[in-house]
Amino acid sequence: MPDTSAGDWLRERLDDPWNSTMHAVVPHGFPAYARILHPAIVRSLPDRPVPTYDDYDRMPEAERQSLLDRFIDEPATWAQTAAAFGTTLHPLAQWQRIVRTPPETDWNARISPDGREFTAPMDGAVSSEMLATVVGHLVSHTATPDAGFAALWEGTGGLLGHLGHGPSRTFLTFDDDPNHRAMLDRSIRDPLNNAFRKPTWQEGILSREVSEGPRLQLRDRDHVLFRGAPSTFARRDWVLDVPWRDRESEEHGFAPAAQSPSILWPDDHAWVLVTEVDYDSTIIAGSAELIAELIADDLLEVFAIPENAELTWDSDEVNR
């Protein structure tokens, strides 16, 4: 939207980006705060431990394919993960500590002592179903459920168009057609010629007018701001109605999808939802009654956290 001043109140309540607390991205000044943990994924095999990546790479192709057909992938809570690794879940727990990641080791996928593989939660986004569950609580704690704002971080993949030599996104299909393979070969060599070409506008999900428009400039990141009803996101099918619905991917056969908001708040500022791009949890700032209601929802994994909570990767003092 052309006028981003509606978000000025957020900036005034944020700390400088170098601050180690959550208030580099979450506003001060609310009675209570909650941390909603994003779910992980657990992969298992019915009759044996999940192989390590090294073991998997050494397998014959037939055995490898057989395993792929038998893998069972399911959502996993942080509590289930902590139980599998023998660690302690607490309000300021960090995933790397929960899964006992050794120094200089990848923590995104870790195999537990019982042979299951746990994949880290998604950073910076939640599913449409999870957002609908959360916002279902939020809208009953504001006098303006149908008036508010949603902000998306401008760096969200494919969101904005740009001046350049190549498209914002490419959808590739693969086959043995020689003409198609020749086209792909040409596209690989194209960057060598692009330096001599004039940049042209490459479309993103949003229009050029919005892509080149003003931003809500916060302490550390700039966002595209949208006016709308927070209550929209209490519906599981909210992706069908937001301006940043990814229609191009739908034209290539993908199901309707849209990035969940980075920040969401109602006109009366009764609460604010923040899904920071580098966080594996969503933070809610609001009333004590709202936070208690979220914690009581069995569909969510929620902890009350104090103001000035630290959520950096090394802030877990319990699981050392």
HEC secondary structure over 249-293: HHHCCCCCCCCCCCEEEECCCCCEEECCCCCCEEEEEECHHHHHH
Q: Any idea which of 68-72, 194-198, 242-246 has the lowest mean pLDDT? A: 194-198
Confidence bin at 48 (pLDDT 50/70/90): confident
pLDDT, tens digit, for every residue of 205-257?
999 999 989 999 998 899 999 999 999 999 999 999 999 999 988 998 999 99
Residue 315 has pLDDT above 60, yes or no: yes
DSSP, res 188: H
Query: Residue 231: what are its φ and ψ, rounded to 5°?
Result: -60, -20
Predicted confidence (pLDDT) at residue 192 exceeds the cutoff of 90: no
C-alpha dihedral sign at 315, 278, 231, 132: negative
Residue 281: what pLDDT? 98
Pull the structure tokens for residue 234.
């209490």
* Confidence at residue 53, expressed as pLDDT on a 0 to 100 scale: 67
Nearby residues of 180 by Cβ (< 8 Å), 6 or more positions away = 173
Q: Are residues 24 and 15 in contact, defined by beta-carbon separation less than 8 angstroms?
A: yes
CA 134 distance to own-chain centroid:
15
Predicted pLDDT at 57: 72
CB 249 within 8 A of CB 90: no
Bridge partners (DSSP) listed for residue 74: 42
Closest to 302 (Cα-Cα) out of 313, 294, 312: 294
Checking if the pLDDT of 69 tops 90, the result is no
d(CA 219, CA 222): 8
pLDDT (mean) for 80-99 = 97
CA distance 83 to 89: 9
Residue 279 identity: Y
Residue 272 and residue 285 in contact, taking contact as beta carbons nearer than 8 Å:
yes
How sure is the predictor about 116, in pLDDT bands with cuts at 50, 70 and 90?
very high
How many whole angstroms separate alpha carbon 242 and alpha carbon 256?
11
Which class for 214: exposed (0-12), middle (13-18), buried (19 or more C-beta within 10 A)? middle
Element (H, E) at 54: helix 53-58
**Weakest mean pLDDT among 120-134, 200-214, 262-276:** 200-214
What is the distance between the alpha carbons of residues 130 and 117, in angstroms, rounded to a whole number? 23
User: What count of Cα atoms within 13 Å lies in the side-chain half-sphere of residue 142?
Assistant: 25
pLDDT band at 167 (very low <50, low <70, confident <90, very high): low
Alpha carbons 278 and 280: distance in angstroms, whole number: 7
Beta carbons of 76 and 38 less than 8 angstroms apart: no
